[in-house]
Structure 1
């Protein structure tokens, strides 16, 4: 049923420490809750204090373990501190879902302002790079390697008219994911990305408020006939981090209702 995607996660993450960025709402919150239900100790990271605390509280109320850390992924000192706090609190870092990102663009490339370009690249590209940098450094120090999933997008696989900068940022995430996977596979660190289609999130709501006529056209692009749900992306991230995906690295898992199939 649309809007009520059933989730069934065995406690496959018992004893694992998982970091989720952009976890105050949307896909990040859905993933943090799913990791918690699967038995993980979850580090909830976001710039939003209220939203982050709320997500952590939801995990605890459901019987899980969670720690909220306020962090801006575009700032190196804050990302380093985020990883340090994770290790100080839980002792290690096994998995990370680097989901924090922004989309504030809906205009032709030639009309985009430099400040907007810098803001999108700062969060989506630099943020993913900084997270991987400090997460990988920690995983190299400990036994057992680790698993990292980055949120890319179908806009990182194909062009996205009126979203040139966002598309460029997600293409960069795909490129970094492949490269990091090749560099650190020998150390037992698997690195993949998930590439969502159009998902029911606040980001989508904002886009449709700016341009309501897009809704019908966007749904038509998905052969499955609807937008995706945050739980469906969360399920994909959990699988990529799980032992079931033990031979999967450098992969871009497209979860798009068939959008890129045609």
Structure 2
């Protein structure tokens, strides 16, 4: 990925020192490459504890990396929610904020996937993939240095939710897609590489608020509530295709070929 795109090289010149955030780090290959490309950078990384089904961390310990073992989908306060209903199945498991409001990062990696061995409450089974994606995107964009870069693992370029996400990022960032010709050849997975992100733009702020709302519904609402919050009207679909259809084809052609 880096040989083809150079995406791991931090280009932000408007701050003192570089910083990296890895939302779902283990085993640590992506963060290892990011640090090798930016040896002076400091990094904050989250990883699901192995006792909860997480991967083993293979990245050697180093003073420039702060590693926290936790489930990022439970970062309720960082998702804008501080009051949890006592009757909720996970009432005692939600986590306090892990970020200073002014904390920002130049490069953020969002490549977490739902793990088969991760034990979780029944209500989470249907919406877990969405909750994980929404948490990563929200926290990342909310703490990204303007002009920074995000690397995001996605699936199925042509899926409606993916199209909407690409359309959203295309409004405030320069995006390209990458898919490895061997390791991802038979899977639907690919990476969105978003650079020069205008994280302080109104479009970015609107996206953050929408993702927070969808996460809240996926976490505390009913299945019916979640479907209503996540599905688009056909009129919305038509607008997206009219505005973004040709760009989508241009972005996706190489991914579909692979």
TM-score by length of 1: 0.48
Higher helix proportion, which one?
Answer: 1
